[in-house]
Structure 1
């Protein structure tokens, strides 16, 4: 974690390189670990980890794309890595509960 300047609440560190972008995900994130602590089923644990991993990576990729596409509109240089870290850390407390509640949704017929 220290190598990528992350703490217990950090989620993702983005590094842009000449050979491509790297995304470092903190699987020791306090919010993820809190959610996993209450689970007993190994399949549910793995599913939760996968949801966290893919969701956070997609969020980070979206932030990177947004920042790169809007650099010309802003007089200041955007620190993309900082934006990715900040936004993924902000989303972390609600991501897993939100994904869980969304998976339980169903469409009710209009006449019901």
Structure 2
């Protein structure tokens, strides 16, 4: 199993977050490509957008945000354990944990978000 940590920063256009955003876009491109490369093997590749979690990194990146309004990182762990299980069959997808309901997303052609 390959589980790569991504972020909505891969596609959100936040000022001053360029290097971080580029790194997460690269993680998603790598994960999607690798999933295709190993599609004929038992290897499964997943990307995870954990969303805003109560971490030191988040506190430093978003000063003034109430950390108590954020989920604990431990809330993501059961989903990561599921993805690591041999019974997991999805590959090349993004597990989006950023919203109120976790969901699996497929990659597609980028859409114009400015229109």
Q: TM-score if structure 1 supplies the norm length?
A: 0.29
- TM-score w.r.t. the length of structure 2 is 0.28
